[in-house]
Amino acid sequence: MALELKQQAEWISEEAYLQSELLSETKHEYIDGAVYAMAGASKNHQRITGNVSREFGNQLKNTPCEPFSSDIKVKVGSKFFYPDVMVVCKDDSDNDYYTETPVIIVEVLSKSTRRMDETAKKFAYQTLPALKEYVLIEQDFVDVEVCRRSEGWISRHYFMGDTVTFESVDLTLSVADIYQRVENDDVSSFVASLNQP
């Protein structure tokens, strides 16, 4: 989801943030004492998030791992973020509203979130000891970027016609499955090419 530029004027503690978030109708991310309101998501954003979350859930049925979508926070030092999708296999936290142990985090990008997701969040997430993969998925065109701890966080890109393996959850998906029902020029062109004789 998009972070709005509107920031709370004064510093607040983590405890005050967590308490206020339980009562707020708008979700906020917390970065070193500053609180940022989150904007709503587009249909394409929700389609991608739903596709990935559903596939993760099906794969992880009857395992100790479980997927969460954008209502559960991840704590990284003095920051709290709402990833679009993440998987947690072992959660040592006694808090029901956040985790510090995701094995994979997926963010769906938009014009308003791209910079934050590709820089500040990426570097913060990579400090989480349990994290094995960080995935960035474009919604306005087709590009699935996967960064794996096992490969030194080097970016690998996948496009229509490719398959991508999410090693942390032992799942291989086609890029077409990730973009199922998404409406953008790349998806339309790929579908049209499949229908040509």
Identify the band that residue 192 occupies on the pLDDT scale cut at 50, 70 and 90. Answer: confident
Residue ranges and CATH numbers for the domains of the chain are: 41-194 (3.90.1570.10)
Identify the band that residue 8 occupies on the pLDDT scale cut at 50, 70 and 90. Answer: low
- pLDDT tens for 94-147 read 888 999 999 999 999 988 778 878 888 999 999 999 999 999 999 999 999 999
Give the helix ranges, DSSP H, for the chain.
14-23, 43-60, 114-118, 120-125, 175-178, 185-194
- Are 174 and 162 in contact by the 8 Å Cβ rule? The answer is yes
Q: What is the dihedral of CA 33, 153, 54, 108, to 10 degrees?
A: 60
How would you classify the pairing of strands 133-138 and 144-148? antiparallel
Mean pLDDT of the chain: 90
Nearest alpha-carbon partner for 102 in 84, 91, 88: 88
- pLDDT tens for 89-107 read 988 778 889 999 999 999 9
